[in-house]
């Protein structure tokens, strides 16, 4: 099953981009024996529309076009909070159900279009706080790597 990330905004070179790359490279390596592939990031430019609502609609169109068919997960502070083990098991269930891909969406400064969020299979929250998209990417990349280690029984994850 392919794992894809689509995000509004471009990360500049620097430690944040390097950290995302490091976790996604690890996830690619540890995901191969688990039939988890890809771990690609598509970056979309922020909309220049005049209102926040119009920007979100325009960005949602661009995000939809960048995503493969399959499960759609929105990263949203109003979403559901789940633990790392449950996150890993959810990914495994989708894989085992024969879903071709799971796409994770990270919105821009204005958030994600509400209609786009409602169309998702899962709205996922790392916290009720709002985080910059760079930090959300780092957290998502780390959790994807952690999920592969949980599913493979690797000792990286030492949670309860």
The predicted structure's pLDDT at residue 128: 87
The predicted structure's pLDDT at residue 159: 60
pLDDT class of 156 with cuts at 50, 70, 90: confident
pLDDT class of 132 with cuts at 50, 70, 90: confident
The predicted structure's pLDDT at residue 155: 76
> Would you list which residues are annotated within the binding site?
75, 107, 126-131
Q: Where are the beta strands (DSSP E) in 45-141?
A: 71-80, 101-106, 122-124
The predicted structure's pLDDT at residue 35: 98
Has residue 136 got a pLDDT over 80?
Answer: yes
Specify whether the backbone of 2 is left (phi greater than 0), alpha (psi in -120 to 50) or beta: beta
pLDDT digits (tens, 9 = 90+) for 80-128: 999 999 999 999 999 999 999 999 999 998 999 999 999 999 999 999 8
- Tell me how far apart the alpha carbons of residues 3 and 18 are, in angstroms, rounded to a whole number: 19
pLDDT, mean over the chain: 94
Has residue 160 got a pLDDT over 60?
Answer: no
Has residue 148 got a pLDDT over 90?
Answer: yes
Nearest to 56 by CA among 65, 46, 66: 46
Nearest to 49 by CA among 36, 33, 60: 60
pLDDT class of 1 with cuts at 50, 70, 90: very high
Q: What is the pTM of this model?
A: 0.93
> Would you list which residues are annotated within the binding site for S-adenosyl-L-methionine?
75, 107, 126-131
The predicted structure's pLDDT at residue 113: 96
Domain map (residue ranges) of the chain? 2-152
Superfamily of domain 2-152: SPOUT methyltransferase, trefoil knot domain (3.40.1280.10)
Cα-based distances in Å from 18 to 6, 94, 138: 17, 29, 9
């Amino acid at each position: 099953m392919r794992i894809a990330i689509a995000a509004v905004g471009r990360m500049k070179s620097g430690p944040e981009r390097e950290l995302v790359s490091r976790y996604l490279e690890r996830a690619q390596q540890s995901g191969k024996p688990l039939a988890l592939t890809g771990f690609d990031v598509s970056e979309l430019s922020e909309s220049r529309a005049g209102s926040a609502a119009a920007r979100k609609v325009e960005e949602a169109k661009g995000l939809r076009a960048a995503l493969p068919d399959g499960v759609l997960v929105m990263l949203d502070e109003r979403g559901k909070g789940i633990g790392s083990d449950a996150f890993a098991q959810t990914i495994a269930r989708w894989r085992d159900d024969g879903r071709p891909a799971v796409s994770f969406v990270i919105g821009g400064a204005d958030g994600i279009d509400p209609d786009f969020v409602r169309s998702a299979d899962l709205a996922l929250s790392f916290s009720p706080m709002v985080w910059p998209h760079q930090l959300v990417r780092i957290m998502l990349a780390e959790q994807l790597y952690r999920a592969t280690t949980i599913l493979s029984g690797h000792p990286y994850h030492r949670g309860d």
